[in-house]
Structure 1
Amino acid sequence: MPKTTIAYFDPLGVFAEIKDELKSKLPLVNLHWNPPSRPLRSIPSLDVELVEESAVTQAAPKHQMLGISSSPYLKLMFVKCEDSETYKSSIRAMIREWLNNNVGSIRDPTEWLIIHYVPSGGKISSGNRFKSSAFDKIRADFNSGSKKDRCIQIRREYSSELEYMEVWSEAMTRIKEAVLEAFGRRVDLYEEEVNKIEAKKNVLGWNFGTFFVMKEGLARSFENISLYEDALVLYDELETAFTTTTNLKTVSYFVSSIGFDYKDAPPLSLLEVEADSQWRHQIMSNEISLFDFHSYLFARQARLLLQIAANSSTPSIAALRIGELYLRLRTFLTEMQGLLQENRKNRFMVAEWTYNVVNEFLHETSWVKDGLSQQVSEGRGELILLSRKALETLAYPRGWKIEGVLAEISLDDDGDDGDGEEKVYTPSSDEITKFIESSQVFYERYRELTIAASAQFELADRIRTVNRLSAQLALLDYQLGNYEKAYAQLENIPSLYSRQGWDLITASLLSVHVQCLVKLGKNDSILLQALELICHYKYLSPTEIETLATFIQEYSNTVPASMPIDRIFRTSVVPYVNEPSLGKYSVTVEVRGLIESEFQFDDATLTLHNIHHEAEKLVLRAKSPKISGKGKVLIECTSNKFVRGQFQVNSLVLSRNKLSLVKNFDEDPIIIEFFALPSSLWAKVRISDSCKLPGRELVVELHPPTETDEKIESCKVSLTSLTPGMKLADKNTNTPEVSVQAGVEVTTSEVSTIPFSFFAESDLQKIKTRATVSFTTSKGVFQHVFVDEVDIALAIDVTVHDFFRLSKLFSKFLIVCKKSEPVRIWSTKLNGSQDFKITETVDENDSVAFPGGAVSRVYSIAPTDSAKSSSESLELCINHCYVKDECAAVVWDELERRLQEHDLSRYTNLVRTLAASFQYDTYSYALKGRFRILPSSAKAVPKTSIFDYVAPDDRANILALLTQLVEEEFTEKPLATSKQLIIPVPLPDVYVVHQVEMTLPEADHFVIGDTISAKIKITTKETWATKGLDYDLPSSYVYEVVSSENWAFSGKRRNTFNCNEDNEFGVSLVPLRTGKIPLPKIDIYAAGRQSQPKMEIDYRNAGETALVVPEFGRLTINF
């Protein structure tokens, strides 16, 4: 590397006396350059080369152009003289001549200093204050007109060590300042010249070479002063400038040719190029080739990076710069190889040059330890691979090549060897010749380089590259017949490439792996690898595919294996349910092969789960499916189990022995509605048409199959509660939640009904049940499951009011709606018994109970002569239905008829779920006898999800039927839809009935304040007491006229009377107010008892009033 040059002129032999002292102070340390326009630069150490002036002058003539010349930064002149006379006579003239000839004639800015040496015994000063010393004379003559002190005095002897250190410290400081001064001036001068040249780059005839040399001179100035980073920046700018001007096609005349025209051998070194000054002269004169220019420029950049790394403060920082160097070197070699190949240069010579350059840089940077930086490890690995590729190229003419999909290939190689290129190239390098002298040596060297590169990439954490190199080693072993080693290395590598999407490489490696397994006889592993390989059928030949298909089927019984179906088949599930035979439901799966081979499987299994209850599964199977080539195959998967509801397809499995091909549908869910076909056996759970409180009953409605000759040999129905708070059977029995009815007879013509008693908590409005129908035919055992939601809420509420008379009881029943839906009351009946006679007081006609209103029924109840008990209960039977149920029945009858007419009856039960959601104008029907489906329901028809489960050919027809239906008006009357509610009506527990009547004198009115004589008549009977029982009834009672603000009393208000006698008492009343005044109330209670018997009072005057007027002739006015 160039050093900072300091020239000295020593005509008097001074340098020999101070040489040792001066060199001991070198190199210069702690220099600080702080120009106005740049940040501070610190130079820890600066190597200096001392050159005697005579040696410089005797050298070859220097190029005087800036950037080419290499003049010193500092010139020193050593002189000595002991007196002024000697100085005046000879020394002064000698100094002036030196300044004129050796300093003033240099174009590059250069500083100079005069060092006056005082030998032993010499005089330091004149000793006379009025007489100057020789050194003073020198300073006076050569410092005049200058602000700088260019004169330094060094003595042989010093009075103390301190004085010695001070003198030399000052001398070295002056030298450092002079060097930095000259450097700063050169930088300014070069920058000024560079800017001038660059400003003319658009002028015709602009010379890039001149610009390059000038700017390189600036870069070398930084380099000479050890500012390598700044020098590297300038070289990078030169590279950018060259690239820019090349793209603009303005430097075509700069280079003389492409270059690389070597006759025998390429250069062994790239770094030595930068030390040869001829390259700069060729650049200046536009005589350099393009290859040589790139080589020179990169060599300069590389040398600077090496210097920066060598002078780094820590090994880690040095490693980072070496990593950068490696990256630049790879880019440079790639570009040069492309340039030379494009220009048809001898590719074997290019390979040898590449090999030499890589080895040179690996050698130059070998001092950097492995593992310090990922960039270094990665760079070394890449360079080793470049070296390996070069070696492969050189071995190729000898027939030694690496086979396989991962073999290195040249994208620029068109198969032509180029002009003058020999088929067998003889390298000039003994090292290369040794490595390609035989196939064994070449393959071993290839392996060594691959292992070395892999080690570097492993340090760099380039796992993918390590895997690629391992795969290459495996392919090499396979090529050389080392099948065991190749098998071991390829065990995991193909899967790594598969995950990265390199399918062609994966297929090739797997193919080699399978071949290794076959050659080694590892049958247990062939199946798994063959499955993996056949997935890459696009990269396999038909013969290879057929062989793999044979392997898969032949070895399917060796080990358990699984693979996604979609790797070699395309599958789709047809989302519609079929019933190929009684009790057997099926779903069709379409399978289309992606390869031409034929596959025979043991069975196909389709698994589904209930979307509302994932634990419930449906499994459908097909036996011995066969898939032939790329044609479409329909596989009908069937099951003897049917569950009504919506199911999502989970998976499809094609199995053969221990092999399973699986497809999961989680990412692309398919929903299938399983609905019963009306021609099959199906069931429905509903509330019983007759409800006798407090008991409740559900009915499983079992519809027989209608289009089959199969006979159901046995049938069992079980019902399960799915609602908390609801139990089957009576509430007082500890029965399980499942109630079973065995031995159900199923006919072919009638709907069977199987009752199930249940108990539900009072707040439950709806319950969910699961009816399971298990039946047997000659073709097997079947199980069908039907889940229903049942509305168990009563439609009506009934209240009763009782009115007792001596011989009969009047009961008034009020019937009201429990919901916001009107209810039609078809009929009511109060059932009597042998002890009571029931008479209805009004005619029975159907009527409608609207929300907020009530329907009343009144019955007269009289005990018969033979009545023995009054404690028994009667039964009130009410036949009723929701008005909306009437509407629904009308609509459904019409819809079912139209479905049959259009041959769409198979969708009856599916459409039924939609019809159940319709809302109707029930008030219009209840009042006028006609109704329509509400618009909200009509608008929802096209958006309903049921069409997703209807075959495409039938969707339009069903939609048309429904659209037409929802727009019509209906006036028909439905068939019987009545439900019966039976309510127990217990008679009141009454032992005694008192009939009380108060009679007043016959008069139109009474005068206020006048006494009125009234009579109280009381009749008592024990008609309602159960005969034959001793109730310990009292024999006498007390009546009492209740005080009132309307009446005053005269006489007895309270009196005792006997039971079972007609009693009459008198009482005087005085009206206290005018108007229609209610008659006073009379209470009766048993005399002398704390506990009163159960009795009722029939007060005949209830609601009667007396007209009281003021006294005639008197009028009172209140103010």
Structure 2
Amino acid sequence: MQLSSPSRPASISSRAYTPSPISPGPGALASNGNVKITYTLAHSIQSSPHFAVLLESLRSRIQPLRNLHWKPSAGTLPSSSIRTIQSVDAEFVPLDLGLSGARLSAVDGFGGDGTARSQIPGTVLAKPFINLWLGMCEDADTYKNVVRRQLKDWVASVTTQSKRDQEWLIVLVHISSPGQDAAGSGGKRLFQMKGNVIDRMRADFTLAKRDRCVQLNYVTGGQDDPAAWTELIAKIKDAIITTLDSRIAERIDDVRRTEAQRAVPGWNFCTFFVLKESIAESFEGMTLLDAALLQYSELEASFYQVLKEKNLSWFGKLGGTTPGDDAAPLLSVTKKPYRDLILSNNISIFDFRCYLVARQCLLLAKMGAIADVANKATGFISAFSRTLRENENSLSEPFIESWIYSCALNVVDECDGWMEAGGGQESLSDAKGTSYSAAKCELLELARAQLDKIGIRAGHLPRAAPFSASLPDQETKSQLSSTTYEPYAVVPDPNNEEHRRLSRLGITNANLLEAIDNVSTFDNLYKQLVTRTIETCRSSGRSRTAMQFQGTLAALYLHRGDISSAQSIYAKLPIAYANQHWNLLEGYMRFLHLETSKNPEDTSSEELIIRALALLSVDLVSSQQAQHNIYSTRIQQTLQNVFQASSNLSSPLRVQNFSLVDIKLTSGVARLDNSRDGSFLDVIASSRLPEVIEVFDIKVHFKARDGVHATFGHKTFELSPGTSSLSLFCPDPISGLLAVSEFEYQISGLLFRITPPESEKPVLPTKSNLSETRVNVRVPEDKQAAQVMMQMPRHVILGDQRVLFKVCTGRNILRSGTMSVVSPSGQIKYNLACAKVLSDPCGSIKCTNEEVSIDDLPAEHELVLSVPFSGSPRNDELEATLNFVYTTVTQPEVIRTINQSCKSYIGLPLIVNINDKFRDERLFTNVVVHSANQELIRIAKVALLSNVDSKLAVQQCTRSPVPVPVWPSRPAPWLFQIQSSDTNDRPNSSLAGETLKLKITYRSLREDLDPILNAITSLHSGAFSSQRKQKLLADSAANALLTDSRWANMLELLRQSPKSDPVVWAKELVDNAPIKLDFDSVLGAIKEMREIDADSQLDTSDERSKWRTVTMPFDVPSMSIVNRVKVAPRLSPSALIYAGQPLEVTVTIEASFHWSGSARDPETKYTMHYDVLSDMDSGWLINGPKRGEYIAQDQSVYTLNLTLLPLRHGVLSLPVIMAEPGDDSNGPRPSCETWQSDGAQRITVLPRNSRSTYTIAMPIPVM
């Protein structure tokens, strides 16, 4: 059968049908989607000059009609819910009574008289839905005599048998102008007459209670009121819905009757199809697209039933043999006269299936479901291609491939056009666009698979992966020739004429024919298709599929010899596959990348090794997953190449975060080497390689919390496949908790360095490999190993900041050592060059600004260095990092390092307050000592020391030699007298301003408790094996004991009672302790405390002393003027003083400049002011010069006389006299202290004895 129009081959950009996804135009077989409305104009309205404008206004309001609500009759649709017709166009045409019967007979299948039915049913939209009569009548008589007769004739003509399913409506039109006064009397009569006419019309033509009359008030002059049309439009909509419901119900009844006769001989599926399709086209015309699609789905199900029953007598052959069938657009319904073929029962299965899927896809496109179109087409192409291969021998394999290729691209092109028309590229970003991109990717992949087959058959592509993946599992053999033809076999000569003919058989697609003949054209077509597929996959989020097609494109480049292009793609794909965790594909891509990089001119040896190691890392994982021989063979080959290439490198190549050897700890605790400094770490090394390898210098690096680094290592050894036990050794004497930072080892010219990741959860050291996560290892303390530490000196001198650095040799005979000190914050500077050796002289010690060099120290020796420092530590906490590098006599070749972070609190636990009192040529100083913390401090003695050549003599108030305890709330005083030792010989010398030394000897209670705390930690040494935990335990126990005031007072009471029985006291202390104590340790501590107290008065400055001292400078204060005041009563010794009796006194004020702080000058004078302080409470009334001024010189005396009058009897103190220097603008005001030598004197005032007689008049009572 010839095509109705010439077809052109489908290509990537060809489009045969491009409807819009919003409102695509109907196909050729679809009926006109307009609802027909006929009208008849009465002569009265035809004579009006406005009838044309009226008709145009009505036409504009029904094109289109919107929001029609239809509730289908029962049984019409599966769901009886209300359906909303969003929009439908209406065709407004005049009613031609003479031609309407013939026209309707031709298109609708009904005869003019309605007695005969046609076998070619059309849609329900072909006939008019409603007939309108438009007329004007303003007179009731005119209506009665003329118009009513005309209306009856018109109603009879539109209600014939052929039009029984059409609605009719009478429209009474009233045309008025804008200037017409409708409110006047004439207007009122007019509306009354008009109202009478419309009422009579409704009375005459209302049938079955259905109002078919409506009045339209039309205003001319462009001022049409939209509200005037509301009733008319509503009745038109209602009439359309009524007509639609009756016609659809009638047509569905016809379909059911036809389907019920399916078993009757002579039943024809094609006739049934056309009848049911008319319903679908009717729904489509009314924009009920989902209902139309349902009809086609039911038709498809009916066809499958016929196919299952193998009752295909109404169809022709399978089809597909018409020239151009392989390249015809799948979604075109106009490429063949499908309606004629169906009615004539000559349509082939091929054409029928193509037509049916095209109609379904076009409906889906109108609904905007573009993704469903692509999915529908994909499923149809895949399923029907299998049908073509299985059920027919007349179609060649090249034809089927060409048909699949052309159909897939046609669907993609059509859908792309709909997507662009529906919203452009923005629509691809939403969920609907993503779904379409995924379906489009399937179609493009289907097309690409056909190109693989065609390319292999034409000899353009190799019969190898990835192209061979498109070949069927079982090769199809065509029966077109007597000779066996294998369509995908490797052809020795692609130019063979017979092979060329068979490979092109059935193909009419011009692009494919050109690609078969020309390799370059094939490559361009293939690259365009693959590139388009990659872009589509990325837009749909199918990154893995996109990577797969990138690999296919790289394989094409590789096959064509374009190594650089293939390599650029292979370089990107492994990373992408690694992110997706596709180990097998990642390994394959890395293998191809490595194979394309073996040109030494383009790739360096280091880069090749890195790529080979990357392949090796993936193959090692894949070999465990797949257990395939290909991986073991490739691993061995890669290893040989890597080792051979790395052996020629000038320096080892570092390999990061990839390991051929796995290391796992056997224990979380290292073991000490008790014969030397250092510790062992037992590990299990697992080789991932299938052969024995030689490993050089394996090292595991650890890091502590304080930043200290340690390295456990092992020299060269051979590692066999599987697991091997190793002992790694660290010569440095370290201890504490260490965390793995990295480990490294060398194989051939490769230096592997692996940094394990941080673990979010605690991990057991023996459960994970070191490359998987960071684990912790605990190294016990070796008390016999060399140690360095920092301590505060036991004897502190304020003004001379020093710190002690100790080097303990332990078991080692030190051959040489170097110690350097660094401040972590940089705020402190240590002057190592000025270090002093406080320990016994031994060996050779050399101090410089940078380091201290030590040679030849014996074992068990402690070197103590006193080093001055400058700077202000933060929060009185001194920090230092000690780095000690040393060698021993037994192992001079091993260099050991101690990197120790130290902290020491330099604040004093004491607070000292000093009060000075000047008394003539003597100075009394009261030193009050507090405890700075809540801790108890015991003061052994406090001494105020003068220099040898000092002019001052210091005497101390005698105290008991027993140490005195002090608390923050209970201080202790010490009184000193300072006096000039020889003032007569040097009268002009200055005594004040000289600096003495105040030395305090003390010991804290915490130090006394150390034996008890050590016993507590030793009891728990198993649970608290680390130094940090032992220290925390000791601090917790000390805090519990020291904060218990009752227990601390009990301990102090014991120390104040040296003759008490220590056993009894030890038992009491153990019983009353807040924590559990060991009796023996408490008893030993008591005895040791008594020994320490016995030596408290010894004067020693050795660092091994049990007592600590702090020496601070004491500056002798100065006082410019010291006034001694004396109040002398002029009274005989036996005289008595009575209250009210005047008392004469002499006041003398003697000035002394002895403590002025400068050389004594007899000419120095000061103007002084005195003031006698007295008030009523003192009991004295003072008469005389209570205030005044005088001139004071050294040793001068000022005298004045006063009269004191006692106001009461009793023991009265003498008045207080104050003397102060006056203001002198010539210089600063001198300091002054005034004391009263007789301030403690009291005067007894006796009461005065006296008698007074008074006469009182008494009234005489009346008898």
Tell me the TM-score normalised to structure 2 length.
0.59
| Greater RCO, 1 or 2 (C-alpha within 8 Å, sep 6+) | 2
Distance in 1 (alpha carbons) for counterparts of 2:1026 and 2:288: 86
Kindly state the Cα deviation for residue 825 of structure 1 after the two structures are TM-superposed.
1.3
Distance in 1 (alpha carbons) for counterparts of 2:678 and 2:406: 78
Compared with structure 1, are the counterparts of its residues 590 and 280 closer, same or farther at alpha carbon in structure 2 (3 Å cutoff)?
farther
Gaps of 5+ in 1: 7-27, 47-51, 58-69, 77-96, 114-129, 151-176, 310-319, 932-961
Distance in 1 (alpha carbons) for counterparts of 2:1107 and 2:868: 20
Equivalent residues in 2 for 1:575-654, closer than 5 Å: 591-604=685-698, 624=716, 627-632=719-724, 634=726, 636=728, 638=730, 649-654=740-745
Kindly indicate whether the alpha-carbon contact (under 8 Å) linking 1:395 and 1:442 is maintained by their aligned counterparts in 2.
Answer: no
Distance in 1 (alpha carbons) for counterparts of 2:598 and 2:288: 63
Kindly state the Cα deviation for residue 324 of structure 1 after the two structures are TM-superposed.
5.9
CA displacement 1:1032-1052 (0-9 Å, x = unmatched): 378999997935344356799
Kindly indicate whether the alpha-carbon contact (under 8 Å) linking 2:680 and 2:727 is maintained by their aligned counterparts in 1.
Answer: no
Equivalent residue of 1:389, what SS? helix
Equivalent residues in 2 for 1:253-268, closer than 5 Å: 255-257=308-310, 268=325
- Aligned position for 2:536: 460
Which residue among 614, 618, 624 is the counterpart of 1:532? 614
Kindly indicate whether the alpha-carbon contact (under 8 Å) linking 2:397 and 2:478 is maintained by their aligned counterparts in 1.
Answer: no
Which residue among 328, 331, 337 is the counterpart of 2:379? 331
Indicate whether 1:300 and 2:300 are aligned: no
- Aligned position for 2:1213: 1078
Kindly indicate whether the alpha-carbon contact (under 8 Å) linking 2:409 and 2:447 is maintained by their aligned counterparts in 1.
Answer: no
Distance in 2 (alpha carbons) for counterparts of 1:980 and 1:359: 103
- Aligned position for 2:876: 765
The one-letter amino acid of 1:690's match is: H
Equivalent residue of 2:1040, what SS? coil
- Aligned position for 1:498: 578
Indicate whether 1:836 and 2:836 are aligned: no
- Aligned position for 1:1010: 1141
Which residue among 871, 885, 903 is the counterpart of 2:1007? 885
Q: Which moved more, 1:650-659 or 1:548-557?
A: 650-659
- Aligned position for 2:1058: none
Kindly state the Cα deviation for residue 433 of structure 1 after the two structures are TM-superposed.
12
Distance in 2 (alpha carbons) for counterparts of 1:856 and 1:201: 124
Kindly state the Cα deviation for residue 796 of structure 1 after the two structures are TM-superposed.
1.3
Equivalent residue of 1:430, what SS? coil
Aligned pairs, how many? 950
Indicate whether 1:39 and 2:66 are aligned: no
Kindly state the Cα deviation for residue 855 of structure 1 after the two structures are TM-superposed.
0.8
Equivalent residue of 1:801, what SS? strand
Kindly state the Cα deviation for residue 568 of structure 1 after the two structures are TM-superposed.
4.8
Q: Percent identity of the aligned residues?
A: 14
Kindly state the Cα deviation for residue 812 of structure 1 after the two structures are TM-superposed.
2.6
Compared with structure 1, are the counterparts of its residues 201 and 675 closer, same or farther at alpha carbon in structure 2 (3 Å cutoff)?
farther
Compared with structure 1, are the counterparts of its residues 221 and 1018 closer, same or farther at alpha carbon in structure 2 (3 Å cutoff)?
closer
Kindly state the Cα deviation for residue 928 of structure 1 after the two structures are TM-superposed.
0.9
Distance in 2 (alpha carbons) for counterparts of 1:137 and 1:1067: 153
Equivalent residue of 2:552, what SS? helix
Which residue among 1024, 1040, 1049 is the counterpart of 1:920? 1040
Indicate whether 1:813 and 2:948 are aligned: no
Kindly indicate whether the alpha-carbon contact (under 8 Å) linking 1:765 and 1:792 is maintained by their aligned counterparts in 2.
Answer: yes
Equivalent residue of 1:790, what SS? strand
Kindly indicate whether the alpha-carbon contact (under 8 Å) linking 1:143 and 1:149 is maintained by their aligned counterparts in 2.
Answer: no
Kindly indicate whether the alpha-carbon contact (under 8 Å) linking 1:279 and 1:296 is maintained by their aligned counterparts in 2.
Answer: no
Kindly indicate whether the alpha-carbon contact (under 8 Å) linking 2:1000 and 2:1110 is maintained by their aligned counterparts in 1.
Answer: yes
Tell me the TM-score normalised to structure 1 length.
0.66
Distance in 1 (alpha carbons) for counterparts of 2:1238 and 2:873: 42
Which residue among 1101, 1108, 1112 is the counterpart of 1:979? 1108
Kindly indicate whether the alpha-carbon contact (under 8 Å) linking 2:388 and 2:395 is maintained by their aligned counterparts in 1.
Answer: no
Equivalent residue of 1:920, what SS? helix
Distance in 2 (alpha carbons) for counterparts of 1:104 and 1:431: 40
Equivalent residues in 2 for 1:690-701, closer than 5 Å: 690-701=795-806
Indicate whether 1:894 and 2:1015 are aligned: yes
The one-letter amino acid of 1:535's match is: S
- Aligned position for 2:113: 99
Kindly state the Cα deviation for residue 849 of structure 1 after the two structures are TM-superposed.
0.7
CA displacement 1:672-691 (0-9 Å, x = unmatched): 78896432222222221111
Kindly state the Cα deviation for residue 1112 of structure 1 after the two structures are TM-superposed.
1.9
The one-letter amino acid of 2:1140's match is: G
- Aligned position for 1:796: 910
Compared with structure 1, are the counterparts of its residues 1003 and 894 closer, same or farther at alpha carbon in structure 2 (3 Å cutoff)?
farther
Which residue among 1154, 1176, 1180 is the counterpart of 1:1047? 1180
- Aligned position for 2:449: 389
Kindly state the Cα deviation for residue 531 of structure 1 after the two structures are TM-superposed.
1.3
Distance in 2 (alpha carbons) for counterparts of 1:1067 and 1:1073: 18
Kindly state the Cα deviation for residue 847 of structure 1 after the two structures are TM-superposed.
1.8
Kindly state the Cα deviation for residue 760 of structure 1 after the two structures are TM-superposed.
5.2
Equivalent residue of 2:578, what SS? helix
CA displacement 1:532-578 (0-9 Å, x = unmatched): 21122224522221221222222235599665535655455787667
Compared with structure 1, are the counterparts of its residues 753 and 656 closer, same or farther at alpha carbon in structure 2 (3 Å cutoff)?
same
- Aligned position for 1:1102: 1239
Kindly state the Cα deviation for residue 605 of structure 1 after the two structures are TM-superposed.
5.6
Kindly state the Cα deviation for residue 357 of structure 1 after the two structures are TM-superposed.
4.4
Compared with structure 1, are the counterparts of its residues 657 and 144 closer, same or farther at alpha carbon in structure 2 (3 Å cutoff)?
closer
Which residue among 211, 223, 236 is the counterpart of 2:293? 236
Compared with structure 1, are the counterparts of its residues 1030 and 265 closer, same or farther at alpha carbon in structure 2 (3 Å cutoff)?
closer
Q: Which moved more, 1:430-439 or 1:294-303?
A: 430-439
- Aligned position for 1:936: none
CA displacement 1:400-443 (0-9 Å, x = unmatched): 99655545658995899999999746779714699999999799
CA displacement 1:679-720 (0-9 Å, x = unmatched): 2222222221111233332111322223x4xx3233344444
Equivalent residue of 1:825, what SS? strand
Distance in 2 (alpha carbons) for counterparts of 1:466 and 1:1086: 102
- Aligned position for 1:430: 505
Kindly state the Cα deviation for residue 920 of structure 1 after the two structures are TM-superposed.
3.3
- Aligned position for 1:2: 29
The one-letter amino acid of 1:755's match is: S
Equivalent residue of 1:812, what SS? strand
Kindly indicate whether the alpha-carbon contact (under 8 Å) linking 1:604 and 1:653 is maintained by their aligned counterparts in 2.
Answer: yes
Compared with structure 1, are the counterparts of its residues 624 and 782 closer, same or farther at alpha carbon in structure 2 (3 Å cutoff)?
same
Kindly state the Cα deviation for residue 329 of structure 1 after the two structures are TM-superposed.
1.3
- Aligned position for 1:1032: 1162
The one-letter amino acid of 1:328's match is: K
The one-letter amino acid of 2:1030's match is: V
Equivalent residue of 2:814, what SS? coil
Equivalent residue of 2:722, what SS? coil
The one-letter amino acid of 1:255's match is: K
Equivalent residues in 2 for 1:661-700, closer than 5 Å: 661-668=752-759, 677-700=782-805
Kindly indicate whether the alpha-carbon contact (under 8 Å) linking 1:702 and 1:753 is maintained by their aligned counterparts in 2.
Answer: yes
Distance in 2 (alpha carbons) for counterparts of 1:1114 and 1:698: 85
Distance in 2 (alpha carbons) for counterparts of 1:1005 and 1:197: 153
Kindly state the Cα deviation for residue 1105 of structure 1 after the two structures are TM-superposed.
2.1
Equivalent residue of 2:789, what SS? strand
CA displacement 1:929-949 (0-9 Å, x = unmatched): 299xxxxxxxxxxxxxxxxxx
Equivalent residues in 2 for 1:185-584, closer than 5 Å: 185=243, 188-191=246-249, 194=252, 217=275, 219-221=277-279, 223=281, 227=285, 230=288, 233-234=290-291, 236-238=293-295, 255-257=308-310, 268=325, 275=338, 297-302=356-361, 325-336=373-384, 353=400, 355-360=402-407, 362=409, 382-383=442-443, 385-390=445-450, 406-407=466-467, 409=469, 413=473, 424=485, 430-431=505-506, 450-458=526-534, 460=536, 462=538, 465=545, 467-475=547-555, 487=567, 490-517=570-597, 524=605, 525-537=607-619, 538-539=622-623, 540-556=630-646, 563-566=655-658, 568-571=660-663
Kindly indicate whether the alpha-carbon contact (under 8 Å) linking 1:549 and 1:597 is maintained by their aligned counterparts in 2.
Answer: no
Kindly state the Cα deviation for residue 800 of structure 1 after the two structures are TM-superposed.
3.0
Equivalent residues in 2 for 1:77-116, closer than 5 Å: 99=113, 111=127
- Aligned position for 1:751: 862
Equivalent residues in 2 for 1:134-153, closer than 5 Å: 142=157
